[in-house]
Amino acid sequence: MPLLQALQEELAALDAQHLIRRRRTVNSAHGANLRADGQDLIAFCSNDYLGLATHPEVVQALQKGASLYGAGSGASHLISGHSRAHAALEQRLAEFMAPDIAHARALYFCTGYMANQAVITALAGKDAAVFSEALNHASIIDGVRLARGTAQVFPHKDYAALEKMLKECTAQKRVVVTDSVFSMDGNIADLPPLLALCEQYDAWLIVDDAHGFGVLGENGRGVLEHFGLQSPNLVYMGTLGKAAGVGGAFVAAHETVIEWLIQKARAYIYTTAAAPALAHALLTSIDIISGDEGRERRAHLNKLIGMFSHGLNLQMWELMPSVTAVQPVVIGENAAMLNIAGSLLNQGYWVGAIRPPTVAPGTARLRVTLSAAHSDIQVHQLIQAINRLDQMSHVAQCFAEVA
């Protein structure tokens, strides 16, 4: 059948470029130690930055939530799916984020992907111009594509280029959108000058803090707390399937923005509400994140980040400068990177193997993610394994050059 044959040919072309992605099946809970495809592994690829996905109190709250509210929500939020658990979570998140957002209100979404789509499309209507950072996450890119306003991409952290675009912009409304922690590089956007620019040019600043919420800031409130920012121009998106260990996402902003999203955001309105049990479990996650245990977990994670970034001693590859839990080691070509990731896997270390189009061609990388659930010894052993492989590649290259 020609339709199938066309797809098969495209898949074969991807395979030839080492771009076919394969899934492993996890047969256990998703902790630092897990079992996947029958192999015991230490996971250095998850976004469970605080180890809450397997925290007994969070798991227990999820079970309690299911017994209180059932398995599913039954409907979308605006019909009958908005439960007491969702309302309580939104109230808790609004109170938690209040120091950073004046008149804060929060809205819970099924996923961060949908939250980005919702907020971008709702704020960037026909009469708006959207300015999107070059290294933004795919969910932002898709939200920008779907928005009815005009779109421009500004170069990575190049706020002078953005200012030029804002100056020339004649649209009535302006929306700037950026990741806080860039998900494949691990570096952090310079939010203070970016926010100043947005205030100067009367633009919304949507901040996707998927990798910062729970992790950054003394109390885990993420990148806004990290920089000490507060502004009515800010619209904050935090995900709850990463550091919070459960699933879903939230937008926190001035109450008027949230009311606008409830009325206008299609990705909020036209979908079944997430299971209330998830919201119930997240109340416990937020208690942990905001309490002493959260502070201890962040302190341990930060110690591991320091250990990893100082412990690598690379000749062939490059560790990207990052002070966050995302620590990318750039290898370069797809095939070489897959070999290295495969070799680490054989030794029991599961690291993210990231290729284009997620990153630029020629910059395939190991995306090591650290978690408070890791022990010092586990991180030390991973450092040694990567250093050894780098050394072996270096020696192999030296021989190849001599030959």
DSSP state of 275: P
Contact call for residue 328 and ligand PMP (CB under 6 A) = no
The owner of tokens 């502070």 is 295
| Residue 221 to residue 302: CA distance in whole angstroms | 16
> Smallest distance from the beta carbon of 116 to ligand PMP, in angstroms?
6
Residue 198 tokens, joined = 């947005």
Catalytic residue flag (residue 242):
yes
Compare residues 215 and 316 and give the one whose CB is closer to ligand PMP.
215
Contact call for residue 267 and ligand PMP (CB under 6 A) = no
Contact call for residue 369 and ligand PMP (CB under 6 A) = no
Whether the Cβ atoms of residue 58 and residue 245 lie closer than 8 Å to each other: yes
Q: Which of 113, 213, 268, 350 binds ligand PMP (CB under 6 A)?
A: 113
- Spatial CB neighbours of 99, under 8 Å, sequence gap ≥ 6: 221, 225, 230
Binding residues for ligand PMP, total number by CB under 6 A: 13
Q: Which of 211, 254, 280, 374 is catalytic?
A: 211
Contacts 24+ apart (CB under 8 A), 63-69: 63/277, 64/280, 65/275, 65/276, 65/277, 65/278, 65/279, 65/280, 65/281, 66/275, 66/277, 68/276, 68/277, 68/280, 69/275, 69/276, 69/277, 69/280
Question: Which residues in 166-186 are b (16+ Cβ under 10 Å) and which e?
Answer: beebeeebbbbbbbbbbbbbb
Compare residues 112 and 393 and give the one whose CB is closer to ligand PMP.
112
Compare residues 166 and 247 and give the one whose CB is closer to ligand PMP.
247
| Residue 323 to residue 18: CA distance in whole angstroms | 30
Contact call for residue 183 and ligand PMP (CB under 6 A) = yes
| Residue 297 to residue 303: CA distance in whole angstroms | 10
> Residue positions in the annotated binding site for pyridoxal 5'-phosphate?
112-113, 183, 211, 239
> Residue positions in the annotated binding site?
21, 112-113, 137, 183, 211, 239, 358
Percent helix, percent strand, percent coil in the chain, to nearest 5: 45, 20, 35
Contact call for residue 210 and ligand PMP (CB under 6 A) = yes
Query: Which residues within the stretch 5-24 sit at the binding site for ligand PMP (CB under 6 A)?
Result: none
Contacts 24+ apart (CB under 8 A), 333-340: 333/362, 333/364, 334/17, 334/18, 334/19, 334/364, 335/18, 336/364, 336/393, 337/364, 337/365, 337/366, 338/18, 338/364, 340/366, 340/389, 340/393
Bridge partner residues of 35 (DSSP): 40
The SS3 of residue 323 is coil
Q: Which of 73, 83, 139, 183 is catalytic?
A: 183
> Smallest distance from the beta carbon of 325 to ligand PMP, in angstroms?
12
Contact call for residue 65 and ligand PMP (CB under 6 A) = no
Backbone phi, psi, residue 261, to 5°: -65, -40
Q: Segment contacting ligand PMP (CB under 6 A): 107-115, 300-308, 352-360, 368-376? A: 107-115
Contact call for residue 185 and ligand PMP (CB under 6 A) = no
Catalytic residue flag (residue 183):
yes
Taking the chain, what is the end-to-end CA distance rounded to the nearest angstrom? 49
Contact call for residue 284 and ligand PMP (CB under 6 A) = no
> Residue positions in the annotated binding site for substrate?
21, 137, 358
Q: Segment contacting ligand PMP (CB under 6 A): 36-44, 108-116, 197-205, 368-376? A: 108-116
> Smallest distance from the beta carbon of 8 to ligand PMP, in angstroms?
29
Q: Which of 100, 208, 225, 390 binds ligand PMP (CB under 6 A)?
A: 208
The owner of tokens 């208690």 is 287
Catalytic residue flag (residue 375):
no
Q: Which of 82, 86, 226, 242 is catalytic?
A: 242
Binding mask 221-250 for ligand PMP (x = CB under 6 A): ------------------x-x-------x-
Contact call for residue 137 and ligand PMP (CB under 6 A) = yes
Q: Segment contacting ligand PMP (CB under 6 A): 106-114, 150-158, 302-310, 390-398? A: 106-114
Contact call for residue 179 and ligand PMP (CB under 6 A) = yes
The SS3 of residue 369 is strand
- Known catalytic residues are 183, 211, 242
Binding residues vs ligand PMP (CB under 6 A): 111-113, 116, 137, 139, 179, 183, 208, 210, 239, 241, 249
